[in-house]
Amino acid sequence: MLAIFGTVAVTLWLTKDNLFYLLNFSYIGISIALGISLYIREYKHARRVTQLLVGCYMLLYLGLICNENMQIEGFWYYLFTGVFEAATIHYAVAKIFGPLLFGRGWCGYACWTAMVLDFLPYKQPKQPRKKIGFIRYITFTLSLIFVATLFLMHAGDMERIMFLSFIIGNLLYYAVGIALAFILKDNRAFCKYICPITVFLKPMSYFSVLRIKCDKSKCVSCGKCKQVCPMDVDITDNSRKRANGAECILCLECVKSCPKKAL
C-alpha cells in the first residue's frame, strides 16, 4: 500500500509540478502502512488509528483549513469546471478507480464520516437489513442537481459556496448518520442506505482485486464471521455475487473472529 500511494504521490508531484501531492499521498500511504503494521502486531485498534489519521487530516486540514470541498458536491464542482485537481483527484484515487484495486478500503480506513460513526455503540447491526438502499440514488441525484443549478444560475463566489456546502453537508451527514445509527441500532446505517458516494463505490468494488476469501476446507460454518460483520456480508461465499459483497469495508473483523483462521 505504501508503494501504491508512493507511486501516486510521485506521479502527481511530477506531472502537476506541485509538492502538495507528494506530501499528501505520502502521508496517506504512511498512515495506511502504519495501520497494517499495527494489525500484523495484533493491535486491537489498528484500523481505527489509520481511520483517525487520514479522516482527521482530510476533514480538518484539507476541508476546514485549506477550504477544499472533498464532499460529492466538490467533486461535481471540479468536474464541471474541467479541472483535474483536489476533489476530482481524490475521487479518482479513493472512490472511483482505486476501488478496483482495494475495494471499499476508503470506507474502512479513511472516511471522516464513518470515523465518527464507528465510535457509536452498535458496531454489529442489531436488526436485519432494511430495503431502503434506494435513498442513496436520491442523495446522489440531489447533490448533482445542487451543483448544476449553481452553474446554470451563474452563482457568484462559487469557492465560498462550496466551502459553506462542505460545512453544512458534513453537519447534515453527522446528524443523520448518528440519528440513524441509534434508530436502526446500526453504526453503519448511513453507509448502507444514505451515502451518495456508494453509487460509485459499490459497482467499482465489485471487481476489487483485494478481497477476503474463505478457505472452505477449514471453515466449520460456526457463523462467527457473520455475527461480527458491520456490513452484513456473507463472507463464506467466495463468489463475487455473495450477499452484500460490494459492502465489504475490509475492516477484518471477520478475519480476527474466525476460530479456524479460514478467512
Contact stretch for ligand SF4 (CB under 6 A) within 60-68, 125-133, 146-154, 248-256: 248-256
Please report how close the Cβ of residue 245 comes to ligand SF4 at its closest, in angstroms: 8
Name residues contacting ligand SF4, limited to 190-219 (CB under 6 A). Answer: 190-191, 195, 197-198, 212, 214, 219
Instruction: From residue 97, give the alpha-carbon distance in Å to each of 7, 93, 156.
Output: 15, 6, 32
Mask of contacts with ligand SF4, 100-119, x by CB under 6 A?
-------x---x-xx-----
* CB neighbour list of residue 131: distance below 8 Å, 6 or more residues apart: none
Binding flag, residue 249, ligand SF4 (CB under 6 A): yes
Binding flag, residue 33, ligand SF4 (CB under 6 A): no
| Residue 194 burial (C-beta neighbours within 10 Å; 0-12, 13-18, 19+) | buried
Binding flag, residue 229, ligand SF4 (CB under 6 A): yes
Binding flag, residue 223, ligand SF4 (CB under 6 A): yes
Q: Compute the distance between CA of residue 251 and CA of residue 114 in angstroms, rounded to an integer.
A: 12
Map residue 254 onto helix, strand or coil.
Answer: helix
Map residue 12 onto helix, strand or coil.
Answer: helix
Instruction: From residue 66, give the alpha-carbon distance in Å to each of 80, 100, 255.
Output: 21, 29, 38
Binding flag, residue 263, ligand SF4 (CB under 6 A): yes
Q: Take residue 82 and report the three cell numbers written for it.
A: 474541467
Please report how close the Cβ of residue 207 comes to ligand SF4 at its closest, in angstroms: 16
Residues in contact with ligand SF4, total (CB under 6 A)? Answer: 37
Q: Determine the angle formed by the axes of helices 72-81 and 158-184, rounding to 10 degrees.
A: 150
Q: Which of 154, 221, 239, 241 touches ligand SF4 by CB under 6 A?
A: 221
Q: Compute the distance between CA of residue 242 and CA of residue 197 in angstroms, rounded to an integer.
A: 21
Binding flag, residue 236, ligand SF4 (CB under 6 A): yes
Q: Which residues bind ligand SF4 (CB under 6 A)?
A: 107, 111, 113-114, 190-191, 195, 197-198, 212, 214, 219-225, 228-231, 233, 235-236, 248-254, 257-258, 260, 262-263
